[in-house]
Amino acid sequence: MKRNQMTTRKNSASFSSMSARKLLLWDIDGTLLTTGGAGVNALANALNREFNVNFQPKDGDPDIGGRTDRYITSALLQRFGKEVDAENIRRFLEAYLEELPKQLASRTGNVFGGIVDILDEVTRRPELAQGLLTGNLQSGAKIKLSHYNIHHYFEFGAFADDSPIRNELGPHAHRRAKEKFQYDFPAHHIFIIGDTPHDIECGKTIGAQTIAVATGTFSMEQLAPHNPSALFKDLTDKKAFFDFIDSVQ
């Protein structure tokens, strides 16, 4: 295993591997796929259309990466001096969901290398379950994942609909997994997979393992100081990914 591909922090907890059940919770943008800017441009078009402002998103626009759609909506309304109330948030998000399919159709995006192989492998391993933990609205997540033909891998998750605060999403995903699989996944057998420091912090909030991947806007050097449980440049090395999952006892 190459040093620059993965670094890990081992967990000393133990239980019988014969009864092990582990839960993988995936972020979407920057982790599973890139939309080629469709998401942020759909937000910009919705804001411009509904509130007559000229928001031009830039690469690295502050306070967007790793945040929830509801958080970003409130932040943008506030930035442009618009009332941050339930009606304006509703207008903004409904317009965003209308704009998103148009932007996806007009931009070049893709599922990242190695992702489909990993998702397929998880479905073949009965001791593993997977879902979403994403800042996307549930409807927005479905639109994006369906566009790239990977929505069928995810039957449940936690979304911006549950809370505008990303750190509050973990318990929702944990609860839904428990209801779906009739099993209370131990926190150290939950793996939060994402591409931003906010994903790492979100996982640590519930005591989960955190897998950071530098396929988004943050480099390995930027992610490393946040001390994820594992850090990958990308997820093209399926063996390295599952070696880490299997190493957690």
Provide mean pLDDT across the span 142-157. Answer: 98
Quick one: CA torsion of 124, 129, 132, 133, rounded to 10 degrees? -140
Task: Categorize the per-residue pLDDT at 15 as very low, low, confident or very high, splitting at 50, 70 and 90.
Answer: very low
**Residue 19 confidence (pLDDT) above 80:** no
**What is the model's pLDDT at position 17?**
36
**What is the model's pLDDT at position 56?**
83
Provide mean pLDDT across the span 94-117. Answer: 97
Task: Categorize the per-residue pLDDT at 55 as very low, low, confident or very high, splitting at 50, 70 and 90.
Answer: confident
pTM: 0.90
Task: Categorize the per-residue pLDDT at 66 as very low, low, confident or very high, splitting at 50, 70 and 90.
Answer: confident
**What is the model's pLDDT at position 16?**
34
Minimum mean pLDDT range among 23-27, 52-56, 86-90, 129-133:
52-56
Which of 118, 141, 81, 140 shows the shortest CA–CA distance to 213? 118
**What is the model's pLDDT at position 63?**
63
**What is the model's pLDDT at position 54?**
87
Provide mean pLDDT across the span 35-59. Answer: 89
Number of Cβ within 10 Å of residue 66's Cβ equals 23
DSSP, residue by residue, 38-57: HHHHHHHHHHHHHH------
Which of 174, 165, 134 shows the shortest CA–CA distance to 150? 134
* 187-246 pLDDT, tens digit each: 999 999 999 999 999 999 999 999 999 999 999 999 999 999 999 999 999 999 999 999
Task: List CB contacts of 149: < 8 A, sequence separation 6 or more.
Answer: none
Which region holds residue 52: left if phi is over 0, alpha if psi is between -120 and 50, else beta?
A: left
Number of H helices, E strands in the chain: 9, 9
**Residue 102 confidence (pLDDT) above 60:** yes
The strand ranges marked E within 112-248 are: 128-133, 157-158, 190-194, 209-213, 230-232
**Residue 155 confidence (pLDDT) above 50:** yes
- Give the DSSP letter of residue 200: H
